[in-house]
Amino acid sequence: MSDTQGLNKNTLKIADMTCAACAQRVEQALNDVEGVTEATVNFATEKAIVKYKSEQVNVEDLVNIVEDTGYEVIEDDEQEETNELDKDAKKVEEAKNKMLWSWGLTIPIILWMIPEMFLGIAWPNEMIYQLGMIALAMPILLWVGRNTYYTAYKAISHGSANMDVLIAMGTGAAFITGPASFFTPIASYAGVAGMIMTFHLTGRYIETKAKGRASEAIKKLLELEAKTAIVVRKGEEVEIPIDEVEVGDIMIVKPGEKVPTDGEIVEGESAIDESMATGESMPVKKTVGDEVIGATINQRGLIKVEATKVGKDTFLSQVIKMVEEAQGTKVPIQEFADRITSIFVPTVLIIAALTFVLWLLFPTALREVTTWAAAYLPWVNPNLGLITGAIFATVAVLVIACPCALGLATPTALMVGTGMGAENGVLIRKGEAIQTLKEVHTIVFDKTGTITEGHPAVTDLVPNDEFNEGELLQLAASVEAGSEHPLGEAIVRKAEKEEVEIEEISDFEAITGKGVQAEVGDRQVFVGSRRLMNEKEMDVSQVEDEMKELEKEAKTAMLIGVGNQLAGIIAVADPLKEDSKQAIAELRDLGLETAMITGDNKRTAKAIADQVGIDHVVAEVLPDGKVDEIMKLQDKFGTIAMVGDGINDAPALTQANVGIAIGTGTDIAIESSDVTLVRGDLSSVITAIKLSRATFRKIKQNLFWAFIYNTIAIPIAILGLLHPIIAEAAMATSSISVVTNANLLRGVDVQPRYLEE
């Protein structure tokens, strides 16, 4: 796949990564390849997103690089043939089985240890007890936990170190004390080695399950897709699998059924539940000519839909792709965590080696610490031998210092946040937008199609005493039916909506710059400006006040004349979207400045801004001048987000720190944005801001706890105050707590306050 810069982009599914250090190593290897412009590897999603120049590197080269680093790439065809949901479920099931088997062997170890730990009784005797510990620990390490040693070996053989290296070294060192205790005076930790591996496998199971929950949004989206479709083939209705639907097929969608794929209604009308796409709970009325989205639900009448997009081109597929790519990207704060992760495991290995040496060189000083701590910590034994104490502390350092929590802190929160966005009609296309959005000072809105509906509509009917509103509308619409002017079309649309009969006309004439005239029945009717009415010798002074008032409100006021008599005024304007005023008020309550950029004259722009409560107005801007104006606003206010919907907004959306495209706008605007709002209203801007702030809060919380945990735990382990089993349990708990905290994001209310009132 090629992006807008002419670079190829590919997503690789990578197996066998066990911690953030693995992801860092693969990412570094890919970024070192000549021709690769950017590679991002996400440990949580187990995917690499690589941008590269096809003339210098190809997909096969990328796969070889990953495999040379010691990891496996799952080929695309394998991904397509295997259901992602089944694969995730299988992964969780495998982790669960390993955990259950390891606990089945560990519980006897614990029960056998209790008399020895609390009463000093090795039942039935010391030799059988020690042999029993070794016998029970061996299958845990070499059978259930064998994959840990295999991945550790692969990492070391490729010159790197990951979490499994730490666990393998820790459990290996502890287990060796078992056989060694028969030949030298050293305490046996063979049983402890088995327990460490069991806690490790338990943590991996809970982590795998929790990571699955973090990517729940993708799973829900995949489950939404219709499995079959009823199509008309050779005049008959046949049910076929969804992947056999072709563009141009006519699909029959009955009430209560899902629309199989994106299309256009060619027969019938209905109300469609589009909540899965927009988050909007109210059904949307659809009729012939309207577009429908695949996987939305037909609630009422039977409709026939012509398929316009299938497979990977559908809206649902594009949403899934957007969310997956966003989850695979990184927020800027992640770079800091990555730098630490890249040196973390090698540093821990050095610290572990130094710990062992320290205990051999300064046993007296360290024993004083353990003697003091023994009064408070029941697992601390100050009477351990020299070698035993060194091994005890070293193993604790190895198993406590896993960088998993650091590696999971950001991506899991990002996965949940982007998933929540998709569920609420906010598609976050780039992960960094999550961080940038919460730093935004000012939100700049394009006017037409963003704050306003984007098309003119009749707003006021002001008849004089001899006419009523219906008559005024009928006369004006009858004349304007012969016009192609947008304002005239708005009057005709209003008449059709109100079911006002449009009469036949004759002698239609468009008077350049002034208006139109025609014979309606036996009456001469004029629709236009003051100049036209003055030329026809009509007195407009009687309505001058109303005209000025309407014009102050950014409305175009047109006069209607019949014969030589003024009949009234019709005002036309591009109406505000229903929630523009409320949305902008709530954005100001959130502490944000607002600005509007438009090509309208200053008076009209100021009138619109006053109506909705915009702080700053930039008017009379030509389409090619929007980028310059955004740059000026950035110089003045700092971080800027822009909301727009048109082709001429695309460069400005790219220039803004965060580009937000209204999903009802043009494809090019959406492609140029960082965030896409599926719904056309501004409530989604508030959702995006709230979601950004909530997600980033979780990221900071996760990083804090991951850092503080290692900062406190490693020195305690060095001093011999942390039992290896407690260290492993704490390590597993830290990763679980980070993922669980990320999932708590689901409970945060990101809806606009005014929609809840």
Given a contact cutoff of 8 angstroms between Cβ atoms, the answer to whether 228 and 250 are in contact is: no
DSSP 485-496: -HHHHHHHHHHH
388/62 Cα distance (integer angstroms) = 46
* CA 355 distance to own-chain centroid: 43
Nearest to 414 by CA among 340, 338, 328: 328
Could you tell me which residues are beta bridge partners of residue 428?
Answer: 675
306/262 Cα distance (integer angstroms) = 8
Active-site residue flag, 88: no
Run of H or E including 363: helix 363-374
Ramachandran bin of 142, using left for φ above 0, alpha for ψ from -120 to 50, beta for the remaining angles = alpha
3-state secondary structure 586-604: HHHHCCCEEEEECCCCHHH
Nearest to 401 by CA among 147, 21, 16, 17: 21
DSSP 535-569: HTT---GGGHHHHHHHHHTT-EEEEEEETTEEEEE
574/598 Cα distance (integer angstroms) = 13
Could you tell me which residues are beta bridge partners of residue 228?
Answer: 241
- Among the listed residues 249, 262, 446, 674, the single catalytic one is 446
450/443 Cα distance (integer angstroms) = 12
Given a contact cutoff of 8 angstroms between Cβ atoms, the answer to whether 221 and 296 are in contact is: no
* CA 30 distance to own-chain centroid: 25
Nearest to 278 by CA among 319, 313, 229: 319
Pairing between β-strand 36-42 and β-strand 616-618 as defined by DSSP bridges: unpaired
- The residues, ordered by sequence, that sit 6+ positions from 465 with a Cβ below 8 Å of its Cβ are none
Q: Which two tokens stand for residue 709?
A: 């945990």
Positions marked catalytic = 446
